[in-house]
């Protein structure tokens, strides 16, 4: 018996810890009931305590991956992009988005790792604003990223700036804002806003942004409208962080497969599995 899962095309760098990057995309999209097609944009040498080396893939390698995938004529339902590494890689993505015009694009504008390690040059983000933002369905910056991209001092003014550049929606994440609870706010080009508050968790996490953006893309790939997709993705991400894994000496890694693990435990308790 065969069946189809919606396809999500991802552009991201690798992470040997599987906390962030391509590995996080793959785990999240799978857990959310879709299938990830992965284009590698860069390589990192890192662990849960920091990044020691980052090297972007050459644009011809990124293009070669895309060309091979497209020869299979896959029906791409959504695209998720994270670290791109270079302007040339960014332009490969722009061409793909134009080819897959019906597929929503979720962009996580990763400027640095969660520990502050730089993962892109200023020229990449300047080009991103000029050439990629007009194609973005959902932009998912945290507040430091939104502030750096816009130079604005408030989330509403930053969101307006980003929407004016062409993004259809902006989700500004609130984990870096000092407050008892985290409030994530979705701004739409129509002027509507949606607040998604959640309990602040105590740990430091590696890959939460990748998880959220990939979960949004997977939900959109299954036909959900934007606000519902964001709400589902935020809930999935929070649950993954709540059940985070201690893999090394540094930050915790989200457990994207927590639903499967809990089902396995339940089956063991019921005597269904050995």
Domain that holds residue 112: 7-269
Give the residue among 163, 234, 170 at the shortest CA–CA distance from 196.
234
Query: Rounded to the nearest 10 degrees, how much is the dihedral formed by the CA atoms of 269, 34, 81, 251?
Result: 0
* Number of domains within the chain: 1
Q: Which two tokens stand for residue 228?
A: 């519902």
Within-domain flag for 257: yes
pTM over 0.85: yes
d(CA 234, CA 214): 11
Within-domain flag for 2: no
d(CA 142, CA 171): 8
Q: Are 82 and 124 in contact (CB under 8 A)?
A: no
Within-domain flag for 116: yes
Q: Could you please report the per-residue DSSP string of 131-179?
A: IIGGG-SEE--BHHHHHHHH--SSHHHHHHHHHHTT-SEEEEB-TTS-S
Within-domain flag for 274: no
Within-domain flag for 12: yes
pLDDT tens, residue by residue, 62-72? 999 999 999 99
Average pLDDT, the chain: 91
Length of the chain: 274
pLDDT tens, residue by residue, 29-39? 999 999 999 99
Predicted confidence (pLDDT) at residue 1 exceeds the cutoff of 50: yes
Residue 44: what are its φ and ψ, rounded to 5°? Answer: -125, 150
Q: Are 212 and 140 in contact (CB under 8 A)?
A: yes
Within-domain flag for 251: yes
- Looking at residue 134, which CATH number applies to its domain? 3.40.1190.20
Within-domain flag for 220: yes
pLDDT tens, residue by residue, 144-194? 999 999 999 999 999 999 999 999 999 999 775 666 788 899 999 999 999
Q: What is the pLDDT of residue 258?
A: 86
Predicted confidence (pLDDT) at residue 133 exceeds the cutoff of 80: yes
Predicted confidence (pLDDT) at residue 247 exceeds the cutoff of 80: yes
Distances (CA, A) of 84 to 16, 59, 90, 193, 253: 17, 10, 6, 29, 22
Within-domain flag for 49: yes
């Amino acid at each position: 018996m065969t069946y189809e899962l919606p396809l999500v095309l991802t552009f991201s760098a690798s992470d040997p810890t599987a906390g962030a990057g391509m590995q996080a995309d793959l785990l999240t999209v799978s857990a959310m009931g879709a299938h990830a097609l992965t284009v590698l944009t860069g390589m990192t040498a890192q662990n849960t305590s920091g990044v020691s080396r980052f090297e972007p893939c050459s644009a011809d390698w990124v293009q070669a991956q895309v060309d091979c995938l497209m020869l299979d004529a896959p029906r791409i339902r959504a695209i998720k992009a994270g670290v791109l590494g270079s302007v040339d890689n960014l332009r490969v993505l722009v061409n793909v988005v134009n080819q897959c015009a019906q597929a929503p694009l979720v962009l996580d504008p990763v400027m640095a790792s969660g520990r502050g390690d730089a993962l892109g040059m200023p020229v990449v983000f300047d080009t991103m604003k000029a050439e990629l933002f007009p194609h973005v369905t959902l932009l998912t910056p945290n507040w430091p990223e939104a502030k750096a991209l816009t130079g604005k001092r408030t989330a509403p003014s930053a969101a307006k700036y980003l929407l004016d550049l062409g993004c259809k929606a902006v989700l500004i994440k609130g984990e870096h804002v000092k407050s008892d609870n985290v409030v994530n706010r979705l701004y739409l080009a129509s002027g509507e806003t949606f607040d998604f508050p959640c309990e602040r968790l105590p740990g430091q996490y590696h890959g939460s942004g990748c998880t959220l953006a990939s979960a949004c893309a997977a939900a959109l790939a299954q036909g959900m409208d934007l606000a519902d997709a964001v709400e589902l993705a935020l809930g999935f991400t929070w649950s993954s962080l709540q059940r985070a894994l201690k893999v090394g000496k540094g930050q915790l890694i989200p457990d994207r497969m927590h639903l499967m693990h809990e089902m396995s435990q339940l089956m063991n308790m019921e005597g269904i599995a050995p």
